[in-house]
Structure 1
Amino acid sequence: MYDHRKLGRELGLFDTDPLIGAGLPYWLPDGAVVRHSLEDYIRTVERRAGYQHVYSPALGKRALYEISGHWAHYDEDMYPPMDVGGEQVVLRPSLCPHHAVMYRSRSHSYRELPLRMAELGAMYRSELSGVLGGLTRVRCIHLNDAHIFCTLDQVADEAAAALALIGSAYRAMGITDARYRLSLPGAGGKYVAAPDMWARASKILGEVLDRAGVPYEAVEGEAAFYGPKIDIQVGDHAGRESTLSTVQVDFHQPEQFDLHYIGADGARHRPVMVHRSIIGSVERAVAHLIEQHGGAFPAWLAPVQVAVLPISDAQEATAARLRDRCLDADLRVRILSAQDGSLGARVRETRLVPYQFVIGPAEADDDAVAVRLRDGRRLPALPAGDVIARVRALVQAHDTRLWD
């Protein structure tokens, strides 16, 4: 496995600077492409699954986190409050209190539930310098977060659907080494004191995992302060394990924020809150993808998807037209002309690009391309239009295959 901190910098994906600060990486153009591709993918998946996307501010009054319980149970990971206009304002450590307030701002009927609210938003953790590293552990996190407000009868199905979305996303990203964990409370005062609530939520998540048929380990002391969770664990180059995706059942915050809906009987009822993150934080997801794929990302994530390689100057005009056709097909493309070195040198330079389109005299005359795939396969000359259409279809399907 590769070290994403070293390889990510070598590939020009991200970097850090002491002037910006530890745990605050910046994204370079190629890294921004990978990030945008992930964000576009997850927003599309969520929209198709019935989620409504929102935006909420990265700041909140201290009172917000006192109500949610973060101030009492999570304050060591939060930044100190700032005095602004006579109020104390905090950089948020989590998006869920904002979403609870947004739910509370409107009345809701049981007919609207489940209500699925999603946001890819920034949150801030006061991490110690000694645990920071590359993209894996940062102080400003961009989380693919969502909160589902539902009835008790709907909780298991919503949690199971979220788990299925995680499996689908991992297949698209080519993640094959994930491990499932049922994270339960442990001893001590870091957890909300409500034994019946913990037992009910833990039972639901255990049944969801059993129904999914995935092997998992129950571990005490790893739950969120307000409820148990399913954690999907991945490893890094040094053998350390971290959580990438989660599904959580929360009875606590709906109570704290006095959330309710009007049931079929006309009375007020308390919803249950399911927290879930499909790809986790963008930073940690990209770190894992760099290490797993060594920079050879699935084609839909690759910063450059097609390298056009004319054999000589005589094919430059044809190469430019082919580039424009790739751009029209929403493919990310780069020309390396004969002036950039020998064909062999250009092939080596673009070894991480999924598709290399080689154009010689015969291909230029026939409107064809000779395709070299990143895995070493070489295809015979094929009509350029057919090749572009095939590559576009594989990219749009988020297929990890390079060809049939």
Structure 2
Amino acid sequence: MSQPRPSAAEPTPRVVVPAGTTAGTAIREAGLPGKGADAVVVVRDAEGRLRDLSWTPDADAEVEPVAANTDDGRAVIRHSTAHVLAQAVQQQFPEAKLGIGPPVRDGFYYDFDVDRPFTPEDLQALEKRMKQIVKSAQRFSRRVFDSAEAAKQELAGEPFKLELVDVKGDSGVDTDEVMEVGGGELTIYDNLDPRSGERVWGDLCRGPHVPTTKHIPAFKLTRVAAAYWRGSEQNPQLQRIYGTAWESQEAQDAYLERLAEAERRDHRRLGVELDLFSFPDEIGSGLAVFHPKGGIIRRELENYSRRRHEEAGYEFVNTPHITKSGLFYTSGHLPYYAETMFPPLQFEGEDYYLKAMNCPMHHLIFRSRGRSYRELPLRLFEFGTVYRYEKSGVVHGLTRVRGLTMDDSHIYCTPEQAPAELRSLLRFVLDLLADYGLSDFYLELSTRGDTGKFIGEEHEWEEATETLRQAALDSGLELVPDPGGAAYYGPKISVQARDAIGRSWQMSTIQVDFNHPKRFELSYTAPDGSRQQPVVLHRALFGSIERFFGVLTEHYAGAFPAWLAPVQVVGIPIADEHVAHLEQVAKALRARGVRVEVDTSDDRMQKKIRNHTTQKVPFMLLAGAKDVEAGAVSFRFRDGGQINGVPVDRAVEVINGWIERRENSSPTAEGVRVEH
């Protein structure tokens, strides 16, 4: 699950730290806050390094104050809190050995080697001990080891820390956790008693930290998980304690409320409560089955998308679920993506793979006959189911599955057509996502990295990247860089959408590909009769139907818009003699294509209303003796609002109009106009 992008405080003015003076002294003399949510906790020097407030430069230095309520400030608070956690663990469990404890988005964690897993009671006791440490105002004091041997001597009882010292510089370890960037200094942070100055505890760490433990305003331990040392299953399994920490209690309370709201919206829970989908053990992890109600929502999602694609000139194709391995060697997916593909099946002396992506098969469709420039751009579209081997710890409901249906498009165009096609494609994507009720977007531009996984010439990458960048800028949306995040064959734009509670989700991706046309020898006849190579634009709009279904479930908290709701209207009679009246209303609605039911159960009316409100039906129509006599119904809405005595013909028009307009808001007494 993605998280909200934290907001940063307003930039603060730069401060000069005179030689021989601590940064903290300069900050105080500049009149900058030392308490509260905007308190300065560290500074950034001219090289961009974060420095403790106890840092004393050898020469006058201009620094940027970093406040607690900024991304960097929160990271420092969280890393400092991780140290307090480690201290509390070793006080509570003296035999515990330390792993690492970095800040992460919205919190921190620390890994420990202990005799038994931590329990919820342990977390409560540790949190209590941490509060005592915070209250004692221990001072974080940076100390540099004279040598690696000196560090190893002091850390002789900490095997994982010794390994970090030994492998510093090894690409398998984030040496920033223990080493000063650039200088290669091994540093430790001692926690000093504020009165005696004696060392209470310490940890190998690069830093920086807040000045004292009392500068940690709010924190909470959240959960425990197992984690392998350095992320490898070949290494020992440790216990990882997660927590969160913030610049104020108010900020933390707001975050915890977001977590609680996210839990209430969890699509896995709502999927069960609303009878939408399930993951039977008999089928396997990450493989969903959609129940009738979920099938209706999925069908509506797909049908509207098909309609919009037809209007935009896409041509529909279908491809198999399995293919010979040679196809994925041609495309380059093997060996690059082998770890995310299911193992091959042996058949008739060939290796066959379950399809992990649709693009190679679409290329074969393009290549199946000669193509003219007059056919371009050629836009192929498929709801193609693919299979990817996600690790068990990564599989998560519908948002991370092993069997997924991609709304995959591949656009084949001339190089000259590519810029305009990209602009049009991005607008099409954003407009269609907005039709489903998402409207708060930003873009991420993923570019080539320095690793060996990328194929193709550098100049082609530069051209493709610049073409994508310009299309993104033309959209007017915020553009965030993602260095090294490109696909192996080309750069991409990812559309990131914020949901109803501010979380960001990756939705559509658009990629420019100069490499697959070469690998598949794709060509078209140009106006001068020459054979030219097309540009391929890869595009998945939803990402996958399954993921999009999960995101929308959480965005709407299960209360889908009426046009998507599996049951759009339910009739609720006050007594049995009113059923026939509601059946006639239902018949009129069904004639308009509305999905409607009449509740003829033995439950009392109020219980029926509760049941269908819980099931999040958008329109409930009540009928009693007066309604029958007047040829009317009474509207009841999800929020408890009601409109009484609406003539049946008008009620049918109102409901049908609301659905046909694809209103994404939930109908209410205030929002539904029933007057003639």
- Fold agreement, TM-score > 0.5: yes
- How far has the Cα of 1:31 moved from its partner? 1.1
Contact 1:73–1:191 (8 Å) recurs in 2: no
Correspondence 1:345 to 2:607: yes
Aligned to 1:137: 400
Correspondence 1:123 to 2:386: yes
Aligned to 2:516: 253
Contact 1:3–1:237 (8 Å) recurs in 2: no
Q: How does 1:88-237 map to 2 (within 5 A)?
A: 88-234=351-497
Q: How does 1:4-403 map to 2 (within 5 A)?
A: 4-234=267-497, 242-337=505-600, 339-351=601-613, 352-401=616-665, 402=667, 403=672
The structure carrying a bigger helix percent of its residues is: 1
Letter matched to residue 358 of structure 1: L
- How far has the Cα of 1:176 moved from its partner? 4.0
- How far has the Cα of 1:394 moved from its partner? 2.8
Contact 1:165–1:278 (8 Å) recurs in 2: no
- How far has the Cα of 1:237 moved from its partner? 11
Contact 1:162–1:278 (8 Å) recurs in 2: no
- How far has the Cα of 1:389 moved from its partner? 2.8
Summarize the Cα distance change of 1:242–1:188 in structure 2 as closer, same or farther, 3 Å threshold: farther
- Looking at structure 1, the residues matched to 331 and 536 of structure 2 have their Cα atoms a distance apart, in angstroms, of 13
- Looking at structure 1, the residues matched to 315 and 661 of structure 2 have their Cα atoms a distance apart, in angstroms, of 22
- How far has the Cα of 1:240 moved from its partner? 7.9
Letter matched to residue 32 of structure 1: G
Aligned residues: CA RMSD: 2.0
1:123-143: CA deviations, max 9, x gaps? Answer: 111111110111111111111
Contact 1:192–1:226 (8 Å) recurs in 2: yes
Structure 1 residue ranges (4+ consecutive) displaced by more than 4 angstroms after TM superposition: 234-242
- Looking at structure 1, the residues matched to 618 and 597 of structure 2 have their Cα atoms a distance apart, in angstroms, of 12
Summarize the Cα distance change of 1:360–1:206 in structure 2 as closer, same or farther, 3 Å threshold: same
- Looking at structure 1, the residues matched to 647 and 427 of structure 2 have their Cα atoms a distance apart, in angstroms, of 38
Contact 1:356–1:372 (8 Å) recurs in 2: yes
Aligned to 2:3: none
**Partner SS, residue 187 of structure 1:** coil
- How far has the Cα of 1:379 moved from its partner? 2.8
**Partner SS, residue 642 of structure 2:** coil
Moved more, 159-168 or 202-211: 159-168
- The number of equivalent residue pairs is 403
In the alignment, structure 1 segments of 5+ residues that lack a partner are: none
- Looking at structure 2, the residues matched to 60 and 230 of structure 1 have their Cα atoms a distance apart, in angstroms, of 28
- Looking at structure 2, the residues matched to 113 and 366 of structure 1 have their Cα atoms a distance apart, in angstroms, of 61
Letter matched to residue 603 of structure 2: G
- How far has the Cα of 1:238 moved from its partner? 11
Moved more, 167-176 or 289-298: 167-176
Summarize the Cα distance change of 1:156–1:360 in structure 2 as closer, same or farther, 3 Å threshold: farther
- Looking at structure 1, the residues matched to 631 and 572 of structure 2 have their Cα atoms a distance apart, in angstroms, of 14
1:143-178: CA deviations, max 9, x gaps? Answer: 111111111122122222222222222222222454
Moved more, 317-326 or 143-152: 317-326
Contact 1:310–1:319 (8 Å) recurs in 2: yes
Summarize the Cα distance change of 1:129–1:278 in structure 2 as closer, same or farther, 3 Å threshold: same
The structure with more radius of gyration: 2
- Looking at structure 2, the residues matched to 354 and 161 of structure 1 have their Cα atoms a distance apart, in angstroms, of 35
- How far has the Cα of 1:375 moved from its partner? 3.9
- How far has the Cα of 1:378 moved from its partner? 2.5
Letter matched to residue 354 of structure 1: P
- How far has the Cα of 1:197 moved from its partner? 1.5
Letter matched to residue 76 of structure 1: E
- How far has the Cα of 1:213 moved from its partner? 0.4
Moved more, 78-87 or 241-250: 241-250
- Looking at structure 1, the residues matched to 445 and 311 of structure 2 have their Cα atoms a distance apart, in angstroms, of 27
- Looking at structure 2, the residues matched to 299 and 236 of structure 1 have their Cα atoms a distance apart, in angstroms, of 18
- How far has the Cα of 1:239 moved from its partner? 9.2
- Looking at structure 2, the residues matched to 73 and 238 of structure 1 have their Cα atoms a distance apart, in angstroms, of 36
- How far has the Cα of 1:244 moved from its partner? 2.2
Contact 2:441–2:477 (8 Å) recurs in 1: no
1:297-325: CA deviations, max 9, x gaps? Answer: 11111111111112221211111121122
**Partner SS, residue 416 of structure 2:** helix
**Partner SS, residue 508 of structure 2:** strand
- Looking at structure 2, the residues matched to 163 and 361 of structure 1 have their Cα atoms a distance apart, in angstroms, of 55
- How far has the Cα of 1:380 moved from its partner? 4.0
- How far has the Cα of 1:290 moved from its partner? 1.3
- How far has the Cα of 1:235 moved from its partner? 6.7
- How far has the Cα of 1:209 moved from its partner? 1.0
Letter matched to residue 383 of structure 1: P
- How far has the Cα of 1:37 moved from its partner? 1.0
